[in-house]
Amino acid sequence: MCLAIPGKIKSIDYQYDGLVRMAQISFGGITKEASLDMVPQAQVGDYVLVHVGVAISVVDEEEAQKSFQYLAEIGELDELTESSQIDRHPL
Amino acid sequence: MKHLTEYRSVELVEQYVAELHRTATRPWTLMEVCGGQTHSLVKNGLLNLLPPSITMVHGPGCPVCVTPLNLIDKAVYLAEERGVMLCSFGDMIRVPGSQKSLLDAKAAGADVRILYSPLEAVRLARENPHRDVVFFAVGFETTAPANALSVLQARQLGLKNYSILASHVLVPPAMEAVMQDADTNIQSFLAAGHVCAIMGLDEYLPLVRRYGLPIVVTGFEPVDLLQGILMAVRQLERGEARLENQYVRVVRPEGNPEARRIIGQVFETVDREWRGIGTIPGSGWAVRPELADFDADKKFAVTIAKAPECPDCIAGLVLKGIKKPHECSQFGRACTPERPLGAPMVSSEGACAAYYHFASVETQDVASLQISKL
């Protein structure tokens, strides 16, 4: 329930007629949307920990890679996709 | 079957385990509060690597497990009788209410949807202006910012058809409740890393002082957990009681102030009922009165009589760490993940389900540090 998955910010865009700022985040080949409202300093290229569609903290790249690899190996990435074919390449 | 990665290497795990065996000279009882940590301890077979003198007791930190029966009944009622689009995190929908689960309601034709994020529910509300959309907002401090943000987004977008059925619970008051139980024998806590990523460290200091307990903020991976346990045991062996942070790479001492600001805009602290435990003072967050339009409980004014819990289920004792899952007479017999009697057998973070899926805890092959994927 408190699982947070690290991903890389690919782009930041405004939605709902510019009202809401959202980011496209790459999780090892899977792209999902997340809010950056909790990490206003985060920029494109940064790595963030994402929990239920909201980035909760910025993490460094090395930590992100290691955490993601661990989560992939132990099979904890189901919430990203219905498919179990997770791309194991770097984020 | 896969081996642990280099970073969580077998060598590193073995080093921590060896150091724990050297360090622990007496019996110690520690509680990991967080269900995610329980899941990781059991799934990775770590409990069998610990010295026999160290007992890990599993805490009440599974939001799905402690969501009151009555609230699940309300969610089912809203979906079935009020025709709302009831959206929820996946692990909530299989939890049995007094009559049925949300999954049962869905099977019977109610509009129940499993979502990854409450922000998706806001999108659904915007796309379906003639439907009432309710998000079942459960969780600890980690999840509260996302649920709060969904309310702020809905307000910003002028949506009148979005509300949350909120049952937020807070970790420190639950730790307090565990310590105040006469039957408790907890000597140290591992605090939940991602909760502290939001809330910071300060709110644990009173517990450290009041009960003379070491508290170690800990991550979720095998090496994190072993390191956290080692830090706690070292303190216990030295007769110390300090707050330490094992999860420095994610948890800053001040937490995430921006997230707390957003939480404060939407939620206020209230007394909260915990399933299997009872009401814990100041242990929950509810939608602030000025945002009542976004509070499904007020908006739909649902009153449902409280139904009794299943008398055979000892979930309350399991959640408080007084009993282990396999000490329940129903464990694996009348109560299985397919036909759960209580919530801890439903969620993957519930202690009962973790034991059912990944243990026999007592008989796992200690020599093999391999992870089996279900």
Q: What is the DSSP secondary structure assignment for residue B331, as one 8-state letter?
A: B
Residue B87 lies in a domain: yes
Domain carrying residue B131: 67-170+255-300
Q: What is the mean pLDDT of residues B271-281?
A: 92
Torsion of CA A43, A14, B285, B196, to 10 degrees: -10
Residue B271 lies in a domain: yes
Which strands sit side by side in the sheet containing B85-88, from one edge to the other?
B112-114, B85-88, B133-139, B162-169, B278-287, B267-274
Residue B287 lies in a domain: yes
Domains of chain A: 7-84 (2.30.30.140)
pLDDT at A77 over 80: yes
* Closest of A49, A56, A52, A48 to residue A1, by C-alpha: A52
Domain count of the fold of chain B: 1
Banded pLDDT at B362 (limits 50, 70, 90): very low
For B114, nearest residue in chain A (alpha carbons):
A79
pLDDT at A23 over 90: yes
Query: Does B35 sit within 8 Å of A51, measured CB to CB?
Result: no
Query: Does B91 sit within 8 Å of A74, measured CB to CB?
Result: no
pLDDT at B279 over 60: yes
* Per-residue confidence (pLDDT) for residue B369, from 0 to 100: 34
Within the 91-150 window of chain B, which residues sit less than 8 Å (CB to CB) from chain A? Answer: 91, 116-120, 126, 138-140, 142-143, 145-146, 149
Query: Does A4 sit within 8 Å of B142, measured CB to CB?
Result: yes
Q: Does A24 touch chain B (CB under 8 A)?
A: no
Residue B95 lies in a domain: yes
Query: Inter-axis angle of helices B222-238 and B35-43, to 10 degrees?
Result: 110
Backbone angles phi, psi at B70, to 5 degrees: -60, -35
Report pLDDT digits (tens) over B48-58: 999 999 999 99
With vertex at residue B368, the alpha carbon angle to CA B223 and CA B247, rounded to the nearest 5 degrees, is: 5
Distance from CA of A76 to the nearest CA of B (A): 10
pTM above 0.75, yes or no: yes
Distance from CA of A79 to the nearest CA of B (A): 7
* Per-residue confidence (pLDDT) for residue B8, from 0 to 100: 53
For B248, nearest residue in chain A (alpha carbons):
A59
pLDDT at B359 over 70: no
Query: Does B120 sit within 8 Å of A19, measured CB to CB?
Result: no
Report pLDDT digits (tens) over B177-209: 999 987 889 999 999 999 999 999 999 999 999
Residue B262 lies in a domain: yes
Residue B49 lies in a domain: no
Report pLDDT digits (tens) over A49-70: 999 999 999 999 988 898 888 8
Residue B330 lies in a domain: no
Phi-psi sector, B20: left (phi>0), alpha (psi -120 to 50), beta: alpha
pLDDT at A79 over 90: no
Q: Tell me the CATH number at B286.
A: 3.40.50.11740
